[in-house]
Structure 1
Amino acid sequence: VAKWSVFDGVNCVLNSQDFGIFELRLVSVMSENNTEEGILLYLHNYSFYSQKVLLALNEKKLTFKTKFVNIANGEQYQQWYLEVNPRGEVPAIKDGNKTIPDSMKIINHLEENYSDENHPRLVPTDQGAAVIEKHNHLHVIIHDLPADVITIGSFYHTDVVGWQKLPFIYPVRRHMKSITEKGPEKVKATAEKSSEAIKQVLLKKAEELETMVKTLRTRESFLQALERVDEVLSEVEEQLKGNKDNPEDWLVCNKFTLADVSLTTLLERLNVLGLEGRFWTGGKRPHLQNYFDRVRRREAYKKSTPSAMFHVKSLIKGITYMSL
C-alpha cells in the first residue's frame, strides 16, 4: 500500500502553486475504444456502480471495450452522453443496437444474454430454490445500500472514518464535495439547454440531488446509513459463518454469484473509505475479513480494481489542475 508521504508531497505541490483542487484523468482498466461492435461500457473507474458492472463483466469472462466518461469535470452532462443516458449517469453500455443504463439493468442484461459454457452464470439457478432465495435476498439488500451517501458522506464527517486510501486523498475528497454541492444547479442549467424530453428527466434529477445534498450534510443521516451497513454485514457474517464446513464456498454457494459481485464492490468501497475498521477488521467480523482476503485474490477482482500502482501512475501522468 502506498505511504501517505508520497501523496503528502503531491498535496504540497498543489498547495504551493495555489491550485484549489485536482482531478484524476484516468485511463481505463480495459483499453478504451469507441467502436460500436460488441459491448461498449461507459464508465468512470472510481464510480461505485461502474466498478460493479466491470466486476460482473470480468467474472463472466466477457470481451468488451470501454469509454471513459469524466464525471469529475461534468462530461456526463455533455449532449453526446445525454443521448446515451438522459440522466447523465455512469455506467451505461451499448450492446449492438441496444443502449442500457443503470448497473442493475446492465447486469441483468449480461446474465440473460451471455450465460453459457464460456460465460459463467452468476445467478445460481442450478443450486435449488433455497439457495436462489437466499442469493436474491442478499443481493438485493446489499445492492440497496446507499453507496453515494456512504461515499460522499464520509468526506463531510471525517471523524467517523479511518485512513482514507487511494483514490480518495484530500484534494479528491474536496473536489467531490464541491461538485456534489454544485450538482443541482449544474443539472438545472444543463436541462435548460436540452431537448424537452431530456429536460424533464434532468429537472427531476436536480430535485433528487438537492435532497441528497441535505442528507449528506446531516451527520445523523450519515450515521443511519452506516447503521444500515452494519445490519446488512451482520447478516452477511452469519451467512459466511454457516459456510464454515465448506471453506471453498462464497457467499451463498460454491459459485461466485451476483450477490458476491455486490458484496465485493461494497467491501472494496468501504475499505478505501477507511471504514474497514468499523465493520470487519480487528476481529469484528472474522468471516467477512477472510472473505475479503480471498476475493482479492480472484483474477476478475484484480482486473476490475485499480491497483496502488494504477493510482500512482494516474496521479503522475494524469493530474489536471482546476479552479473551484
Structure 2
Amino acid sequence: MAADESRPRFTLYYVPPSYYSQKVLMALYEKGELFTERLVNLGKGEGTAKWYMEINPAGQVPVLGDRGKLIPESEDIIEYIDREIPHEPILVPSPDTDLGKNVEKFRKLIKQTPVEILTHGLWYNPEMSPGGMASPRDKAGWDEYFIQQEAKLTRMAEEQGHLKEAYLKKAADVKARSELVRDTSRIQAAIETIHPVLDEVEEQLTRAKQGAEGETWLLGRGFTAADINLAVLLKRLTKLGLFSIYCSQNKRQSLWHYWERVQKRLPFLKITELENNYSKSLQK
C-alpha cells in the first residue's frame, strides 16, 4: 500500500516541558517541517507504559518516527532531521568546514551542562534557587513519588518479561535520582559548573559580532544546532530561577542581548506556547 502523502512524514513523541523535547521541536520549527505530534502524557504514566517502552526502552523523550524508523536521543534526532531535510537553514554544517567544527564544539560544550541535576535538584530544593521557582511537589510529596515509582517499575519488570531489564534500569534510575536530590553539595556544584560554559559562550558571541554587519548568532549569521542548544539551556536556567546569577545587562552583556533576541524568534515562541498550554492543561 502506498504511503499517505497527505500526512506528515515525521511523528514526534514528546513532552512539551522536556528540555530534550524542546531542542527537537525547535529544530523542526526552524526547518519549517510539519510533523504529527504524539504527546507522551507523563501525568498518566505513559512515559513508562508498555507501548512507549517498546518504542524506546529507555523510557525517555523525545523519539522521532520516520516511516517505521525510530530515532531516540535529541542530538541524534537533530542531525537526522538536518540530513533528511537538506534545505536551509543548515543546522549541522559539515564537520569538514570551520563552521561545522565550531558548531560541534559548542554543541558538546552546552550538552555537558548538568541540566538534569539542576532540574531535579531544584524541584526538590526550591529554596536553593536564587530567583525562586515553583515545584510541583513539596519534599514529602517527592519522597512518596520516588517510593511509588520505584515500586511500580519493579512490579512492571516482573509483569512485562520481555522488558524486564528496561524496567529495572528505570527503577534504578529513580532510586539514584532520589538520592541525588538530597545531596545539596552536588546540586550547588552543578550550579557553579555553568559559569565556565557561559564564559566561553560570551567570548564567542562577542567575537561573532565584531566587524559583522546585521544580526549574528552564536557562530555568525546562521542559526545552527549550537544556537538551539544554547537557547533551550537559557530557557531552562530561567525557568529554574538561575538566569540572574549568570547574566544581566552588566554581566555577560553579549549573552544578555542574545537572550533578548532569541526569545523573539518564532520557533522559540512556539515551544514556549506549547509548554504553557501543557502546564495549563495539567491544572484543569
The normalised TM-score by structure 2 is 0.87
Query: Which residue in the other structure is 1:46 paired with?
Result: 17
In the alignment, structure 2 segments of 5+ residues that lack a partner are: 1-5
Q: Deviation of residue 58 (structure 1)?
A: 0.5
1:243 aligns with 2:214: no
Match of 2:94 among 101, 113, 125: 125
1:66 aligns with 2:50: no
- List per-residue Cα deviations over 1:224-251 (Å, max 9, x = no partner): 2112211211111111121232262211
Equivalences for 1:83-122 in 2 at 5 Å? 83-116=54-87, 119-122=88-91
One-letter amino acid matched to 2:197 = V
Query: Which residue in the other structure is 1:256 paired with?
Result: 223
Q: Deviation of residue 182 (structure 1)?
A: 4.2
Cα distance in 2 between the residues matched to 1:66 and 1:111: 19
Change (3 A) 1:200 1:171: closer
Question: Contact (CA 8 Å) 2:131, 2:244: kept in 1 or not?
Answer: no
Query: What count of residue pairs does the alignment treat as equivalent?
Result: 276
Cα distance in 2 between the residues matched to 1:113 and 1:181: 43
Cα distance in 1 between the residues matched to 2:160 and 2:66: 25
Provide the aligned C-alpha RMSD in A: 2.6
Query: Which residue in the other structure is 2:116 paired with?
Result: 148
Cα distance in 2 between the residues matched to 1:173 and 1:46: 19
Secondary structure of the 2:209 match is coil
One-letter amino acid matched to 1:185 = A
Query: Which residue in the other structure is 2:127 paired with?
Result: 159
Question: Contact (CA 8 Å) 1:55, 1:300: kept in 2 or not?
Answer: yes
More helix by share: 2
- List per-residue Cα deviations over 1:86-131 (Å, max 9, x = no partner): 1211111211111122212211211221112xx52201339x7333
Secondary structure of the 1:66 match is strand
Q: Deviation of residue 295 (structure 1)?
A: 0.5
- List per-residue Cα deviations over 1:145-204 (Å, max 9, x = no partner): 222211111123323313446xxx3446766675456443332222222133x2112222
Query: Which residue in the other structure is 2:106 paired with?
Result: 138
Q: Deviation of residue 219 (structure 1)?
A: 0.8
Match of 1:268 among 235, 239, 243: 235
Query: Which residue in the other structure is 2:283 paired with?
Result: 319
Question: Contact (CA 8 Å) 2:10, 2:65: kept in 1 or not?
Answer: yes
Secondary structure of the 2:273 match is coil
Say which is worse superposed, 150-159 or 53-62, in terms of deviation.
150-159
Cα distance in 1 between the residues matched to 2:267 and 2:261: 12
The normalised TM-score by structure 1 is 0.77
Secondary structure of the 2:55 match is coil
Task: Report % sequence identity.
Answer: 32
One-letter amino acid matched to 2:12 = L
Question: Contact (CA 8 Å) 2:10, 2:66: kept in 1 or not?
Answer: yes
Say which is worse superposed, 242-251 or 178-187, in terms of deviation.
178-187
- List per-residue Cα deviations over 1:293-313 (Å, max 9, x = no partner): 1111111111122279x45x9
Question: Contact (CA 8 Å) 2:8, 2:34: kept in 1 or not?
Answer: no
- List per-residue Cα deviations over 1:198-229 (Å, max 9, x = no partner): 21122223323322322221011111211221
Question: Contact (CA 8 Å) 2:124, 2:135: kept in 1 or not?
Answer: no
Secondary structure of the 1:122 match is coil
One-letter amino acid matched to 2:270 = K
Change (3 A) 1:307 1:281: farther
In the alignment, structure 1 segments of 5+ residues that lack a partner are: 1-34
Cα distance in 2 between the residues matched to 1:180 and 1:104: 28
Secondary structure of the 1:67 match is strand
Query: Which residue in the other structure is 2:157 paired with?
Result: 191
More relative contact order, 1 or 2 (CA 8 Å, 6+ apart) = 1
Cα distance in 1 between the residues matched to 2:51 and 2:267: 30
Cα distance in 2 between the residues matched to 1:74 and 1:307: 20
Match of 1:284 among 240, 251, 256: 251
